[in-house]
Amino acid sequence: MGLLSGNGRSEIPPVPADRIVLKKFHSARYLHALKTASKGRWNIEALNMGIGTLDCPVFNGLYDYSVLACGATLTAAELILSGSADVAFNPSGGYHHAGPERAAGFCYINDVALACLVLAEQGKRVLYLDVDVHHGDGVAYAFYDRSDVMTISFHENPGTLFPGTGFEDEIGTGQGKGYCVNVPLPVGTYDEAYMKAFNAIALPLIGAYNPDVIVFELGADALAGDPLAHLYLTNNVYAEIIKHLISLDKPILATGGGGYNIDNTVRAWALAWSILAGADTEHDMNLGVGGVMLESTDWQGGLRDRTLAVSSQQHDIVMPVVEATIEMVKANVFAFHGL
Ligand SMILES: [Zn+2]
């Protein structure tokens, strides 16, 4: 689509993450086990750290792959820190479930936690926003007691989805109290309900926090039709959120994340990048253009999804739950920010 070059855009080859940087978040014992497993030597100690499970299998080149994917996110962070880029996107990033000594949920090396750490070390106030359908647990807990990295995660209710954490009352501890924000959403949450929660919670908090830089984990598994999750979004939600972020006029480090309906994920990330890169932002044809009446069933909306119809029954089930969640989150965290 010509979106990778021109108009100040460029593709930057990633550099594998340095072991010294990796150790800012992961333990030496864990990194050693990951590297060893990658070479075919795997033991019960590695398994106890989540390496070699069904979710996090061992494969040839696992270590090189993990540190290269992470290195791309860190390369993006460096571009932003040096002022070389206002916006950087690593679709092969967003491994938000990995813990200091734990592989989990398809994640081995937590590139997003490391990027937030590196940015915070340079004195930046970091906002971490996570719209993957799963709770961004690895990042939330990395900064649970810190106020220099605010984490906001929108996700499907942990009662119905991995990893089982991310309820409204998980708000951080000590210095970090009020700087960890979780917005669990019910099965069937659709665009209007999602944006209601985003506008009511994320916008005022981001405004009050006034970050220097935004790290944006853009999992595409909250889209309708994802085989692993149960939300009902279209990619128009991501487009709208990105426009809000751009309007803040802060550097944005975006990453991919989950996304298991491949076609939908590809289009969502292509759309996200096109908007992040300042292309075609007014192309809002997400209504019912096309169809046999117009002598063509071709979809004219480009990368955008068609608007999905929502039944009154779905509305009546979802909206009251989302509204109650909004009130609970506001009651739990807004006072810490003078809201
Ligand atoms: Zn996910």
Reduced 3-state DSSP string for 156-172? ECCCCCCCCCCCCCCCC
CA distance 187 to 100: 30
CA distance 171 to 302: 39
CA distance 75 to 85: 11
68 by Cβ neighbours in 10 Å (0-12 / 13-18 / 19+) ranks as middle
Catalytic residue at 135? no
CA distance 276 to 132: 18
Q: pLDDT of the chain along its 339 residues, tens only? A: 888 998 899 999 999 999 999 999 999 999 999 999 999 999 999 999 999 999 999 999 999 999 999 999 999 999 999 999 999 999 999 999 999 999 999 999 999 999 999 999 999 999 999 999 999 999 999 999 999 999 999 999 999 999 999 999 999 999 999 999 999 999 999 999 999 999 999 999 999 999 999 999 999 999 999 999 999 999 999 999 999 999 999 999 999 999 999 999 999 999 999 999 987 555 555 444 445 555 666 666 688 888 899 999 999 999 999 999 999 999 999 999 999
Q: How many CA atoms lie within 13 A of 83 on its CB side?
A: 0
pTM exceeding 0.85: yes
User: Of 26, 96, 97, 135, which is the active-site residue?
Assistant: 97
**What pLDDT does residue 295 have?**
60
CA distance 137 to 144: 10
Span from the CA of 110 to the centroid of ligand 1 (angstroms):
13
Contacting residues for 91 by C-beta, under 8 A, at least 6 apart: 255, 256, 269, 273
**What pLDDT does residue 282 have?**
53
**Residue list, CB under 5 A from ion ligand 1:** 132, 134, 219, 221, 258
Q: Peptide bond before 204: cis, by omega within 30 degrees of 0?
A: no
Write out the two tokens for 29.
Answer: 């014992």
Span from the CA of 258 to the centroid of ligand 1 (angstroms):
4
CA distances to 77, 78, 124, 126 from 210, rounded to whole Å, are 19, 21, 11, 9
Strand, helix or coil for residue 262 = helix
Write out the two tokens for 6.
Answer: 């021109």
Span from the CA of 259 to the centroid of ligand 1 (angstroms):
7
